[in-house]
């Protein structure tokens, strides 16, 4: 009986502080945080912050913090609404079945309300604290993620993450607009880089999560077109991505620090996806190595974008001081 | 609802109230800071 919590043995009903109950309370808080998809949020926040950093002009640190906070809250809101909408397929997929809603720890309606309040709150705060353009782009990015990607494309077409990838590409535009109140070529180039980066990133994941997606009926490219075609598409998009990352340097928006970083990272990404393309596979394109190269490419793609945009920021700071 | 469940419910409610209080305080502080920043800006 030693494994029973004191509260269950508490016949008198006294309100004793049970370690198990206390930990349950913390786990509830963790579930509400998990609804915000913090790992996805980190990349969104980072790219938004870089957009804000490289934009011409000056922003008071408090306002800059508020802009980044709004981007983070909006990204979290998208995650919560996405989890509410996808709760049926999340329950089927191994990777997602322990999420708070399919696991029954949070009511779907509560998650939806949470997402809507955060979404509206982030846009209003952005509008009040920064400017209408930034708020408008933020609202557009939320609407794109929720309505275009989650509700429309995700379950209908293998091009879901190609078009839907635009939703994740908005943050640099929001960051830039927060500083300048307008949009320009540079944030659009940053948008394009994330847009073209998304397919090789996501399809690497889809390759090793193929069984999950098939079981859930989500028409990801490996499910619909098979592993071979997916690997080919990953290489094509990466070949488009690498020269695109050099555009900021070619247009004079960045200097040699960024150009060298983009070149080296691009070579690394190409090697990584080439390994995916030449992975040992059977006649139907199923990996014989448990998709080890795809797993490596997925991890590399995350580091790639972080370092690439980090280099852009470093280059910007260096050029300011020289 | 058993006594144990009632106690857990009360503890959760208390946790939520504290979380809400912290969130609202942070929001108030943020709005105050934004106002000061905007006043300096203009």
Tens-place pLDDT, residues B5-40: 888 888 888 888 888 889 899 999 999 999 888 887
Band of the pLDDT at A283, cuts 50, 70, 90?
Answer: confident
Residues of B in contact with A10 (CB under 8 A): 3-4, 7
The CA-CA-CA angle for residues A142, A148, A153, to 5°, reads: 140
Q: Chain A: nearest CA to B12, how far in angstroms?
A: 6
Look at residue A26 in the predicted model and tell me its pLDDT. Answer: 63
* Greater model confidence, A226 or B13: A226
* Whether A245 contacts A265, CB under 8 Å: yes
Q: Where are the domains of chain B?
A: 1-42
* Of A50-64, A259-273, B15-29, the least confident: B15-29
Query: Looking at chain A from residue 129 to 148, which residues have their Cβ under 8 Å from any Cβ of chain B?
Result: 129
Of the candidates B35, B11, B30, B24, the residue with the CA atom closest to the CA atom of residue A117:
B24
- ipTM greater than cut 0.90: no
Average pLDDT of the residues in A205-220 = 91
Chain A interface mutation, best of B7, B30, B36, highest count of A Cβ atoms under 10 Å = B7
Instruction: Decide if A304 contacts A264 (C-beta within 8 A).
Output: no
Q: Contact A40/A165 with Cβ under 8 angstroms?
A: no
Compute the nearest-CA separation of A115 from chain B (Å).
16
Residue of B nearest to A8 (CA): B4
Q: Which of A15, A62, A63 sits opposite B7 (nearest CB)?
A: A15
**How far is it, in rounded angstroms, from Cα A184 to Cα A206?**
33
Q: With an 8 Å Cβ cutoff, is A66 touching chain B?
A: yes
pLDDT at A6: 35
With a cut of 80, say whether residue A19 has pLDDT above it. no
pLDDT, one tens digit per residue, over A32-42 is 999 999 988 89
In angstroms, the separation between the Cα of residue A61 and the nearest Cα of chain B is 8
Q: Whole-angstrom Cα distance, residue A257 to residue A314? A: 8
Partner-chain contact A21 B7, CB within 8 Å: yes
Half-sphere exposure of A1 (CA within 13 A, CB side): 4
* B33–A contact, CB cutoff 8 A: yes
Contact A77, A118 (CB under 8 A): yes
Q: Is B9 on the interface with A (CB under 8 A)?
A: no
Any idea what DSSP says for residue A144?
Answer: I
DSSP 8-state assignment for residue A289: S
Q: Is B1 on the interface with A (CB under 8 A)?
A: no
Label residue A258 exposed, middle or buried (CB < 10 Å: 0-12, 13-18, 19+).
buried
Say whether pLDDT at A198 is over 70: yes
The domains found in chain A, sorted by start residue, are 32-182 (1.10.357.140), 184-322 (1.20.120)
Q: What is the pLDDT of residue A98?
A: 92
């Amino acid at each position: 009986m030693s494994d029973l919590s004191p509260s269950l043995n508490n016949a008198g009903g006294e309100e004793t502080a049970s370690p198990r109950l206390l930990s349950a309370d913390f786990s509830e808080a963790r579930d509400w945080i998990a609804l915000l998809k913090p790992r996805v949020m980190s990349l969104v926040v980072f790219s938004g912050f870089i957009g804000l950093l490289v934009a011409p002009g000056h922003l008071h640190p408090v306002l800059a913090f508020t802009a980044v906070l709004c981007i983070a809250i909006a990204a979290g809101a998208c995650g919560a609404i996405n989890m509410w909408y996808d709760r049926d397929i999340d329950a089927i997929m191994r990777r997602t079945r322990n999420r708070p809603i399919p696991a029954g720890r949070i009511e779907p309606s509560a998650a939806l309300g949470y997402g809507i309040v955060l979404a509206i709150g982030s846009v209003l705060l952005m509008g009040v604290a920064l400017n209408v353009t930034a708020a408008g782009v933020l609202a557009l990015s939320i609407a794109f993620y929720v309505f275009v990607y989650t509700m429309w494309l995700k379950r209908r077409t293998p091009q879901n993450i190609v078009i839907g990838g635009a939703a994740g590409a908005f943050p640099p535009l929001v960051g830039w607009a927060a500083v300048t109140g307008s949009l320009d070529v540079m944030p659009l180039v940053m948008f394009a880089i994330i847009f073209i980066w998304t397919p090789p990133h996501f399809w690497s994941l889809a390759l090793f999560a193929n069984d999950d997606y098939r079981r859930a009926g989500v028409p990801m490219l490996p499910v619909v077109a098979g592993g071979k075609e997916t690997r080919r598409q990953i290489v094509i998009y990466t070949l488009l991505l690498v020269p695109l990352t050099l555009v900021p340097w070619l247009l004079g928006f960045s200097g040699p620090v960024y150009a060298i970083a983009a070149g080296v990272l691009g070579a690394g990404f190409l090697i990584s996806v080439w390994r995916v393309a030449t992975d040992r596979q059977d006649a139907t394109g199923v990996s014989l190595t448990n998709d080890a190269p795809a797993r490596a490419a997925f991890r590399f793609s995350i580091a790639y974008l972080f370092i690439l945009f980090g280099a852009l920021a470093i280059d910007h700071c260096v050029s300011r001081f020289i | 609802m058993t006594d144990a469940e009632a106690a857990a419910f009360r503890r959760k409610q208390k946790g939520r109230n504290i979380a809400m209080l912290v969130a609202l305080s942070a929001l108030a502080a943020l709005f105050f800071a934004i106002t000061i920043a905007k006043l300096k800006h203009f």
